[in-house]
Chain A
Amino acid sequence: MDILVLMKVVPDVVEELEVGPDGKSLDTSFLRTIINERDDHALEQALLLKDKHGGKVTLLTLDAPDIDDVLFTALAKGADRAVKICGVESVQSTQTAVKLFGETIAKTPGLLPVDLILTGVSAIDDLDGLMAAPIAQQLGWAYTGVVTQVALADKTATVIKEFAGGVRGEYEVPTPAVLGIQAAEKPPRYVPVAKVRAAMKSMTIETVDAPAVEAATTVEVQQMAKPQVTGHAEMIEGSPEEVADKICELLAKRGLI
């Protein structure tokens, strides 16, 4: 059972995000990128399936600062092969990323065939989750998303999808298929730095040139701004008696007592 995992980076929100001078994009001077958390779960799910069924796990990413660390960490965790698409900006619109991944998968020898393509079902810059489904469509494969468990058998994958209110559904998907991973069955594993360093010495990252794709222009950003403060909590200060009086006054004013 061979699996291809698609990973991309997103802006790291631990670092404070600033809007750039054009008022339409992020200021890149302080921007730091981090691997999309759900893609990391997709990798973990692929590794769990490899632990169970054997086979090969290949990673495909768009080049980004520090991406080699991410890829060597994945190789140290048990992935077999890492390929990065070079010559592109690290943070892409989802539509462009779809084109880049799609073209690369179709044209790079050795990436296919696989039984599954796993990727995060969404990302902080792709809340609609528009990555995995178009790639499945392009390949003519089945797609399903919001997946939290995967069991593989010959020519089928049985997946669990999560719905609101704690409802779960079980689906059978013919393979090869593209799955959008919501969460792996276990949290992504930790790999000691010593093992990452060993992977850096013994393994290599392959590179492929980005295919020429037209920038997608279906959605244009009109404006980007920080949310405006519309309300705030008021801290009532004073002695317990004073605070109690003020609370009574407020409740009375609002007609609650």
Chain B
Amino acid sequence: MSTATPSADNGNGVMTLENLAKFPEGQKVYSCMQCGTCAATCPYGDDLAFPPRAIITMLEAGLIEEVFNNPGLLNCVTCYACMAKCPRGIKLTEVLLPLVKEQVFTHLKEVPAELQKALENTMRYGNPMGESPRKRALWAKSSPVPVPVIAEIKRAVDVLWFVECYPAYHPRGHDGNRATAKLFKALGIDFAILGNEEKCAGECVRMAGETGLFEMLTDANIKLMRKYKFNRIVTGGAHAYDALKHKYPAAGGDFEVHHTTPFFAQHLAQLKPKLKKKLDYTVTYHDACALGRHNGFYEEPRALLQAIPGVKLVEMNHSGVNSICCGGGGGMWLDTYYAEKGCERLSERRVKEALDTGANVLAVSCPYEISRFEDALKVAGGEKRMVVRDVVELLAEALED
């Protein structure tokens, strides 16, 4: 019944845990040599009742029901660390874990309250915060650069900007949106947004194991986007990018899609002469899991930051492929649940490392990270020493004067 990876249909139907061996990437799961690298690299490795290698053992032994009935896998934040490090190259986070997490979610005796509310809100209002869908594009009124809605301008555009929930509703997300609009304008890019019709891309819902809801959102967004003519999609949401890039095509939404950070990096030659304002910041960059480990965008954000006059870039102990997850993604609405279990909040672990670099700006490329790290800095007592900025905010700031 699982449909976590519909893209894997190779004539054997949809991949499930039962028919895994019929698919090349599924067969690879059984090549596990039990080295334990997955458990060791997992940021919540100590709290997973069944780390990936144990899941594989249970699957082979016919005891997978035990894994389904244990809520331990809620501690998987879908950070792609185990997959990036697996010496056998098993696609743990892409193939195995979604199939298992879907079952764990279905078997949960109680869905943690914060997650349940986010899922119910997403189902009803198209965003996890439970805000009115009629207010989704309200932020655009605050943008000094006009932000057209594609249904209103009634013509084809070059870039369809998929705004996503946090940027649409969170005040700090609005800062990033205004910056993105400014950058589009500086580059002369013809763009429009979906406005109030847009719904959550759904990636975090999928990562939590609620595959059915993900499919509902996917279908709604694809049907909507097909109504309009555009060349490509650009989104500032790291997880929205991940879903649009890797999951939407199998559901019939095969669009050219870019994330803002690599997109602006592609336009660096054109952008660089416009970055005239000197920013005397020491910046450390946090590699978002979805952009870094899953899609390999390590150089692009750094190239953009280094193109800003005055910026000094320093690296954290864990960066690039070794970056530590902010705890969002698959764990976005489980902070209270983790705290109740006595787990350290990953965003706090991360900002401590960021503070250790001596940088005064923590640069990010995922809208979740802004609020997560700003909160974590307050808890860690570092809010006077460091600010959190999206890469697009820094670029837009350097555009001025």
Which residues in A have some Cβ–Cβ distance to B below 8 Å?
14-16, 30, 34, 186-187, 189-190, 192-197
Contact = CB atoms under 8 A, between A and B. Distances in A.
Query: Which of A34, A187, A193 has the largest count of B CB atoms less than 10 A from its CB?
Result: A193
Contacts of B120: 190
Contact of A16 (B110, B116, B132, B212): B132
With most chain B CB atoms within 10 A of its CB, the pick from A16, A30, A194 is A194
A196 B130 contact: no
B113 interface: yes
A67 to B, nearest CB: 14
Given A190-B116, A193-B213, A194-B211, A30 B134 contact: yes
B1 interface: yes
Interface residues of B, number: 22
A192 B212 contact: yes
Given A192-B213, A193-B213, A196-B212, 4 more contacts: A16-B134, A187-B113, A190-B116, A193-B212
Contact of A193 (B130, B132, B134, B216): B216
B130 A14 contact: yes
A15 B134 contact: yes
A186 B120 CA distance: 17
Contacts of A186: 110
Contacts of A190: 111, 116, 119-120
Interface string B1-37: 1000000000000000000000000000000000000
B125 A14 contact: yes
B106 A193 contact: no
A194 B125 contact: no
A197 B219 CA distance: 15
B223 interface: no
Given A187-B113, A190-B111, A14 B131 contact: yes
B374 interface: no
Interface string B98-116: 0000000110001101001
Nearest to B217: A193
- 3 nearest A-B pairs in the assembled complex, by CB-CB distance: A193-B212, A194-B212, A190-B111
Contact of A194 (B1, B110, B111, B130): B1
B123 interface: yes
Interface string B245-287: 0000000000000000000000000000000000000000000
Interface string B350-368: 0000000000000000000
B212 A197 contact: yes
B318 interface: no
A45 to B, nearest CB: 16
Interface of B: 1, 105-106, 110-111, 113, 116, 119-120, 123-125, 130-132, 134, 210-213, 215-216
B132 A15 contact: yes
B124 A194 contact: no
A30 B132 CA distance: 11
A190 B105 CA distance: 10
Max chain B C-beta neighbours (<10 A), residue from A14, A195, A196: A14
Contacts of A15: 132, 134
Contacts of B131: 14
B130 A192 contact: no
A194 B116 CA distance: 15
14 contacts: A14-B125, A14-B130, A15-B132, A30-B134, A189-B110, A189-B111, A190-B120, A192-B106, A193-B210, A193-B211, A193-B212, A193-B215, A193-B216, A194-B106
Contacts of A16: 132, 134
Contacts of B132: 14-16
Nearest to A193: B212
A11 B132 CA distance: 13
B126 to A, nearest CB: 11
A18 B1 CA distance: 44
Nearest to B107: A192
A193 B215 CA distance: 9
Contacts of B211: 193-194
B219 to A, nearest CB: 11
A194 B113 CA distance: 19
Nearest to B112: A190
Nearest to A13: B132
Contacts of B134: 15-16, 30
Contacts of B216: 193
Contact of B105 (A14, A34, A192, A196): A192
A194 B212 CA distance: 5
Nearest to B1: A194
Contacts of A14: 125, 130-132
